[in-house]
Amino acid sequence: MLLARVPCVSSRLYRASSGEPGAGSRERAGQAGVQLSARRAWLSAMGVAEQLLRSVIMGSPGSGKHTLSLRIARHFELKKLSSGELLRDNILRDTKTGVLARPFMKQGELIPDDIMTPLTLQELKNLAPYSWLLCGFPRTLPQAEALERAYQTHLVLHLNVPFEAIMQRLSARWVHPASGRVYNLEFNPPKVVGVDDLTGEPLIKREDDRPEILIKRLKAYEDQTKPVLEYYQEKGVLETFSGTETNKLWPYIHACLQTKVPHAHWKHWFFHEEKCS
């Protein structure tokens, strides 16, 4: 069966406005829908099928990757693979990979490529029949190159969020360690302070959210991922979204994905039904 490459516009930059999404956002979404309909008609006329989407979401710690990747996976029925969740699961299960990764995570250091790359690529083998979204991987150029040797990356969503906004956001973040559920005292608080909504178990501050560790993580992210962004920009698959609030970035991300995700994966969507975390 022939597969049609999903076209992607190179290095487009989206800036979230300070106001609520309104007619302009709806108009952009409508235009994206018209473009997608035209592409569907072309594919049908050519007698070819749309290929699975291989996508990545990138952003510094606290940029909103987790919240947005959950929304994307739900609205477009993509399989989400989070490197952080994958690592924490291995640490909790005390696997060989978890034992190797634990000291790096505790100190807020980047997990070495020889640990992270085989772990992720092995997990992706289970997702071969699906469209997927990687969250938190790749973080280095060797990781990106290893991923590209195994799979063709069609789309990279880059979240450009100011350092000050991230520091403020993570200072109010609490997590339920067993499930990974994330709360924020400012915009997504638990029903009872310090307690998980579903289990009643205590919430904790992640060790890598401590200010001194966070500053180190942000600096490491900036240094390590700049070459990755340049790599994907050269390939013409990078889309950058700039802003400070997840809810205001979401309409632009959603409109972009409407032109990229195979329509069989679509679900009904709304702009603001979820809380940000």
Binding residues: 83, 88, 109-111, 136-139, 143, 173, 182-183, 206, 217, 246
- Other beta carbons less than 10 A from residue 267's beta carbon: 8
User: Distance between CA 134 and CA 136 in Å, rounded?
Assistant: 6
Amino acid of residue 220: A
Alpha-helical regions (H) of the chain:
23-46, 65-76, 83-92, 96-106, 113-124, 141-150, 163-171, 211-235, 246-258
Known binding-site residue numbers for AMP: 83, 88, 109-111, 136-139, 143, 206, 217
The dihedral through the CA atoms of 81, 82, 86, 92 has a sign that is negative
Structure tokens at 209: 């959210």
Report helix, strand or coil for 193.
coil
Phi, then psi, of 151 in degrees rounded to 5: -145, 145
Binding-site annotation: residue ranges for GTP: 173, 182-183, 246
